[in-house]
């Protein structure tokens, strides 16, 4: 089988959960290869790799300057340019597998050009991320349209959680028989308990005091603002480490930084802000030393970061949204904080102050019980080892490819829809 994978993220340009997924999925698909399959990856960047039964080609941005009506439209047009290059360059495929709306246009074009079935892995859904309009302007409507059209055309959809499967059915009317739930995974050999107090000191972290860890992009989706608003309710002297970078907008980063500075000046807390994406080796050490990990997301189809922390033996306090509860077991590997969203089209909490207080209460509850933290951390590591290996995820994905291609061949081209 000739497998074509399209993604905006691929090493070394990985900044989110979708990129982590693509990196590990392609690696394991290649390892599973018994000589029957070839794997081609098209991505955004300068990557050029050619190996046995696997190649990677990065697509650079356009060098032609454009005068945008709104500078926020640049991401959309940059993606479309690269999609056209992808579609014009790919030569053969038995299956086309797209990740995120950034490559959906190329996937839809290649479905028609190559006569191959289209599979989407849905890492998030645009209608559930209205804050993206801050970043994209009116191009957010176009990204939503691209996503909607791709779901209409796809012969198969991989949902990273049962919650995501429900969302796909409700938003886009995809028949349940076309959707397969395949969870995200983790490499337990890569993410494992690893300790280095000297590294903590180099980052300004007191290795003697327990600390709470947040890791994520500065985006409304990750709920960092709600965690920051929870800080004044934490026990005095609590140490907090924020690995928060890659802001959606400068305004959002400024808003959060102002709040953090105000809290620093009025409350007895040790707040360490690491404003860049942390290299993997350091990230593993941070996860391992943390007393607990906090995931306050307002929207999270699955949440690989929770698996990363759990694999390092660290319990999790997380909002009970999306697929988080399919990774974190309440009262066993962490605590899930109830989350009541505002309503249709708005995924922010109905009572933001109340949610922040409940988040702080869960953190304080666990910090007050070191023995419980230790028990939960051990259970978290076991859960990851038993349920979330990338090898099994790749095997399930390969099985789904086979199912989709067989169904596509039976149906022929009768059910193909127009863009």
What Rg, from alpha-carbon coordinates, does the chain have? 22
318 pLDDT more than 90: yes
Structure tokens at 355: 């949610």
pTM of structure: 0.84
383-394: pLDDT as tens digits:
999 999 899 999
Average pLDDT over residues 223-229: 97
- The average confidence (pLDDT) of the chain is 93
Residue 322: pLDDT band (50, 70, 90) is: very high
- Other CB atoms within a 10 A radius of the CB of residue 374 amount to 13
Please say if the pLDDT value at position 416 is more than 60.
no
Tell me the C-alpha distance between 58 and 61, whole Å: 10
Which residue intervals of 33-117 are DSSP H helices?
74-89, 104-114
Q: What is the arithmetic mean of pLDDT over 289-301?
A: 96
The pLDDT-based confidence of 344 (bands split at 50, 70, 90) is low
Structural domains of the chain, with CATH: 2-185+389-411 (3.40.50.2000), 197-387 (3.40.50.2000)
pLDDT one-digit tens code per residue, 41-56:
999 999 999 988 999 9
Confidence grade of residue 71 (pLDDT, cut at 50, 70, 90): confident
Tokens 């959309």 belong to 76
Instruction: Give residue-wise pLDDT tens across range 227-284.
Output: 999 999 999 999 999 999 988 889 999 999 999 999 999 999 999 999 988 899 999 9
CA atoms within 13 A on the CB side of 409: 8
Query: Is the pLDDT score of 347 beyond 80?
Result: no
């Amino acid at each position: 089988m000739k497998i074509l994978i399209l993604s905006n993220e691929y090493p070394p340009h990985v900044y989110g959960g979708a990129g982590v997924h693509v990196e590990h999925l392609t690696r394991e698909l290649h390892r599973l290869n018994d000589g029957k399959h070839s794997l081609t990856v098209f991505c955004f960047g300068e990557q050029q790799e050619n190996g046995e039964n696997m190649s990677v080609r990065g697509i650079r941005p356009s060098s032609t300057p454009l005068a945008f009506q709104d500078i926020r439209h640049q991401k959309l047009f940059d993606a479309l340019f690269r999609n056209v290059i992808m579609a014009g360059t790919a030569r053969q495929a038995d299956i086309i597998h797209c990740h995120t709306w950034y490559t959906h246009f190329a996937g839809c074009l290649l479905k028609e050009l190559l006569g191959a079935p289209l599979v989407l892995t849905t890492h998030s859904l645009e209608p559930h991320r209205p804050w993206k309009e801050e970043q994209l302007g009116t191009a957010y409507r176009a990204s939503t349209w691209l996503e909607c059209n791709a779901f209409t055309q796809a012969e198969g959809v991989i949902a990273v959680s049962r919650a995501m499967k429900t969302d796909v059915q409700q938003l886009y009317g995809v028949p349940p028989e076309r959707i397969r739930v395949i969870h995200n995974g983790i490499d337990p050999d890569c993410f494992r308990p690893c300790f280095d107090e000297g590294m903590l000191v180099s980052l300004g972290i007191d290795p003697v005091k327990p600390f709470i860890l947040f890791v994520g992009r500065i985006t409304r989706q990750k709920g960092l603002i709600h965690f920051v608003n929870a800080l004044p309710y934490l026990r005095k002297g609590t140490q907090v480490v924020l690995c928060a970078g890659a802001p959606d907008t400068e305004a959002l980063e400024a808003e959060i930084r102002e709040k953090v500075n105000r809290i620093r000046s009025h409350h007895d807390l040790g707040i360490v802000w690491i404003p860049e994406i942390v290299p993997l080796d350091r990230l593993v050490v941070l996860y391992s030393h943390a007393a607990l990990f906090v995931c306050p997301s307002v929207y999270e189809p699955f949440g690989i970061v929770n698996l990363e922390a759990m694999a390092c033996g660290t319990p999790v306090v997380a909002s009970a949204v999306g697929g988080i509860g399919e990774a974190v077991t309440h009262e066993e590997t962490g605590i899930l904080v109830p989350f009541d969203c505002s309503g249709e089209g708005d995924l922010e909490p109905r009572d933001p102050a109340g949610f922040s207080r409940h988040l702080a209460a869960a953190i304080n509850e666990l910090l007050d019980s070191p023995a419980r933290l230790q028990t939960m951390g051990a259970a978290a590591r076991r859960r990851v080892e038993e349920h979330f290996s990338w090898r099994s995820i790749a095997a399930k994905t390969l099985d789904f490819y086979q199912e989709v291609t067989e169904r596509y061949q039976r149906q022929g081209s009768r059910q193909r829809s127009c863009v």
